[in-house]
A and B are shown apart, each in its own frame.
Chain A
Amino acid sequence: MKLIICAAAPEDKKLVAFAARSFSRGFEVEILADPAFSRSCKKKAPDSFVYFEAGLGLDRVIELAAKLDGIEACGWGVLDREGESADPAAWFFAGASDYIGPALCKAGVGSERLGEALAYAGLAEERAADPDEEAFPGWASLEEGASVSVRFLYAAIGNQKGLLERIGEKRLDKLREDFAAFLESWSKECGGIVWIRETAGCLMLFPPEDEGMNPVLAAFRLLLDRALVGYEIFKLEVPLTFRLAFHAGRTMWQRPGATGKIVSEDVNFVFHLGSKAAGDGYIVSSSETEKAIPACLRDLFAAAGDFEGRSLIASRRFKE
């Protein structure tokens, strides 16, 4: 998506600096003079968002905005650095999707705001991704104590009560240990790590965007292969299944093994989700991770009610 600023004086250094400071990350920005914009908007405006300087005046902006009618994936707003507009609402009455006033200009505008404007204009899908989100630095580079956005997967061996009866406590303990070790290498294929190990299950973290295999696809494969994994890897002579719960959110980063003091609503939630709402042999996911489900698996998921105020979706269960 491109960003166009239509101004009376495009060479204005303050305007150029403002555009560079505010919009350069994640967007291609072009500043055009009023006549140049008027001449070339049919060519340049598709797939873009246009900010008109308030100094052009309401009537002229309405005239120029009319030229955008019918142009594909295009919205417009007003940039009022000097506070020249006495009635900002008038722009919205005229069809604008955003108004950036002097206070906001001074405080700083980010690509996030532009995302909101695009959403208001109905162009949200066209929004360029936030480069901060794309550039996940890797687990080793995360700063201790920093708040990070991640995808969580709580994974546990299913039917542990039944296994306890069939293989005994000692072997079940060993199986839990082996399962956690198995998840270490399994999660690596998706760019993830095993973050918190508990007796009942493990909490894994994955980058916000796929790095390697999609973790939902990998989890689906794990469920498919449960008989092979149980027999070939864990040498079990009894059936094995898993319970898997996905969620996405934020947490304070601490390296694995030093997570004792983590206070995070999302971490809390995914533990509850995994231990209370998830079931054996299928994947449950909060609506926050719905977009992480690859399109090729969507038809295998369906709404599964609410849990602790969040809506859930769950995969179909494989027949045993």
Chain B
Amino acid sequence: MKVRTALSQMLKKCLYESLNADMLERIAQDVIPDYDLRKRSGFPPNIPMQNQTAASRIVDDVVDDDLFLHFVERLALLDREGFMGRSYRISGLRELFKIIGGEGYIWDADTARFMEDSRIRRTPNWGRLYQGEELRFSLLRIDVVKNSRIVKVHGESAARGAYEDMRSILSRAVERRSGRMWSWDGDGALAAFLFGHSTTSSVLAGMALIHELFIYNRAYNRIGESVRVRAAVHTGPLRYHPDIGEIVRQETCREVIESEARWTPPDCLSISPAVAGTLDRVILDRFERSPESGSRALVYCIGMGSA
């Protein structure tokens, strides 16, 4: 995030009006591990440091490290929950949030984090994740069934058209639920969810995809053969990396890929037990045990009875 001078000045003011230098350093250490205020500022230990000087140094450092939003989030937590049983009121926090909102970031109360406003821009890291940041993500994995056969039978151009349609259906389902498309390689995709009720959002996005493809294959598909997918959702810790290759090597991602490939029938969405445990009953009741033996996954498919 590019931090304007006025915004960083405002944060400095909030800090020195609310916290002393020791507390400021303590909070900074939650965002930048092993942060040493005196080392960074060159102040010898025997000279007392003014709050204003400490605030200025810390804000400049978090801006330099691209951790401005992370630091404000920590401040918001301090304001809300206090520290070691003591409450701290951060003056001007509301105004600060307003200005950050004007910069295109919205506050997500569920995760107590800022995320980029999807109406303004959509980036894979929600405009705020840094490489190596470990968080709990919910992943939606999609695989196109018999992709190579579709390309072989209908030709590359026709297949590409159908896949582009599918991509836009998937993007709509994912992004309207604050998710992000992390990869799309023609025959499959990976989408990630972090904000709001991320596991519920990823499951609803998967269900919406299955529904939309049902309509698409009947009403709009021009290749004359249904585009079928297998979709799976799993949640777990993941270190963010801008390179998708680094992401798919991680355990959580490997598990969702395996769940899609091994336990999910075509035209269905499967969810892992970790995901099932977070869902409200009204959604969970739509899922059934996977027909594959040995699977602990639950599966959602469109079922039709008689008229």
Interface residues of A (CB under 8 A from B): 217, 220-221, 224-225, 227-228, 230-232, 236-239, 282, 294, 296-297, 300-302, 304, 314-319
Give 22 CB contacts A-B under 8 Å: A217-B219, A220-B215, A221-B211, A221-B215, A224-B302, A227-B207, A228-B211, A231-B283, A236-B282, A237-B280, A238-B282, A239-B282, A294-B219, A296-B219, A316-B305, A316-B306, A316-B307, A317-B304, A318-B302, A318-B305, A319-B304, A319-B305
The yes or no answer to B281 lying at the interface (CB within 8 A) is yes
The yes or no answer to B285 lying at the interface (CB within 8 A) is yes
Query: Do B307 and A231 have beta carbons less than 8 Å apart?
Result: no
Interface of B (DSSP majority class): helix
Query: Do A317 and B305 have beta carbons less than 8 Å apart?
Result: yes
By a CB distance below 8 angstroms, the chain B residues around A237 are 280-282
By a CB distance below 8 angstroms, the chain A residues around B218 are 296-297
Please judge, given known A-B contacts A302-B307, A319-B305, whether A231 and B219 are in contact too, CB under 8 Å: no
By a CB distance below 8 angstroms, the chain B residues around A221 are 211, 215
- A282 to B305, alpha carbons, bound, how many Å? 10
Considering only residues 250-298 of chain B, those with a C-beta below 8 Å from chain A are: 280-283, 285-286
- A238 to B208, alpha carbons, bound, how many Å? 18
Query: Among the listed B204, B214, B219, which residue makes an inter-chain contact with A224, where contact means beta carbons less than 8 Å apart?
Result: B214
Return the 3 tightest CB-CB contacts between A and B, nearest first. A319-B303, A296-B218, A302-B307
Please judge, given known A-B contacts A297-B218, A318-B302, whether A304 and B282 are in contact too, CB under 8 Å: no
Query: Among the listed B280, B281, B282, B303, which residue makes an inter-chain contact with A318, where contact means beta carbons less than 8 Å apart?
Result: B303
Query: Do B307 and A317 have beta carbons less than 8 Å apart?
Result: yes
Residue of B nearest to A302 (CB): B307
- A316 to B305, alpha carbons, bound, how many Å? 6
Query: Do B215 and A230 have beta carbons less than 8 Å apart?
Result: no
- A151 to B211, alpha carbons, bound, how many Å? 26
Please judge, given known A-B contacts A318-B305, A319-B305, whether A227 and B215 are in contact too, CB under 8 Å: no
- A221 to B215, alpha carbons, bound, how many Å? 7
Query: Do A315 and B307 have beta carbons less than 8 Å apart?
Result: yes
Query: Do A318 and B304 have beta carbons less than 8 Å apart?
Result: yes
Within the complex, what minimum Cβ distance (angstroms) separates B263 from chain A? Answer: 20
By a CB distance below 8 angstroms, the chain A residues around B207 are 227-228
Interface size class of B (residues with CB under 8 A): 20 to 34
Query: Do B219 and A301 have beta carbons less than 8 Å apart?
Result: no
Interface of A (DSSP majority class): mixed
In addition to A230-B282, A239-B282, A314-B307, 14 A-B residue pairs with Cβ atoms within 8 Å of each other are A217-B215, A217-B219, A224-B211, A224-B214, A228-B207, A228-B208, A228-B211, A231-B280, A232-B204, A316-B307, A317-B304, A318-B302, A318-B305, A319-B303
Query: Do A317 and B306 have beta carbons less than 8 Å apart?
Result: yes
Interface residues of B (CB under 8 A from A): 204, 207-208, 211, 214-215, 218-219, 280-283, 285-286, 302-307
Please judge, given known A-B contacts A224-B211, A231-B204, whether A304 and B307 are in contact too, CB under 8 Å: yes
- A294 to B282, alpha carbons, bound, how many Å? 31
Within the complex, what minimum Cβ distance (angstroms) separates A316 from chain B? Answer: 5
- A239 to B284, alpha carbons, bound, how many Å? 11
Query: Do A301 and B285 have beta carbons less than 8 Å apart?
Result: no
Within the complex, what minimum Cβ distance (angstroms) separates B74 from chain A? Answer: 31
- A282 to B304, alpha carbons, bound, how many Å? 10
Within the complex, what minimum Cβ distance (angstroms) separates B284 from chain A? Answer: 11
- A220 to B216, alpha carbons, bound, how many Å? 12
By a CB distance below 8 angstroms, the chain B residues around A296 are 218-219
Residue of A nearest to B220 (CB): A296
Residue of A nearest to B282 (CB): A237
Of B207, B285, B306, B307, chain A has the most CB atoms within 10 Å of the CB of B307
By a CB distance below 8 angstroms, the chain A residues around B215 are 217, 220-221, 224
Within the complex, what minimum Cβ distance (angstroms) separates A286 from chain B? Answer: 15
By a CB distance below 8 angstroms, the chain B residues around A315 are 307
- A231 to B201, alpha carbons, bound, how many Å? 11
Query: Do A225 and B307 have beta carbons less than 8 Å apart?
Result: no
By a CB distance below 8 angstroms, the chain B residues around A314 are 307
Within the complex, what minimum Cβ distance (angstroms) separates B265 from chain A? Answer: 15
By a CB distance below 8 angstroms, the chain A residues around B204 are 228, 231-232
Within the complex, what minimum Cβ distance (angstroms) separates B217 from chain A? Answer: 9
Within the complex, what minimum Cβ distance (angstroms) separates A19 from chain B? Answer: 41
By a CB distance below 8 angstroms, the chain A residues around B211 are 221, 224-225, 228
By a CB distance below 8 angstroms, the chain A residues around B306 are 302, 316-317
By a CB distance below 8 angstroms, the chain A residues around B305 are 316-319
Residue of B nearest to A225 (CB): B211
- A61 to B142, alpha carbons, bound, how many Å? 68
By a CB distance below 8 angstroms, the chain B residues around A239 are 282, 285
By a CB distance below 8 angstroms, the chain A residues around B302 are 224, 318
Residue of B nearest to A240 (CB): B282
- A104 to B307, alpha carbons, bound, how many Å? 48
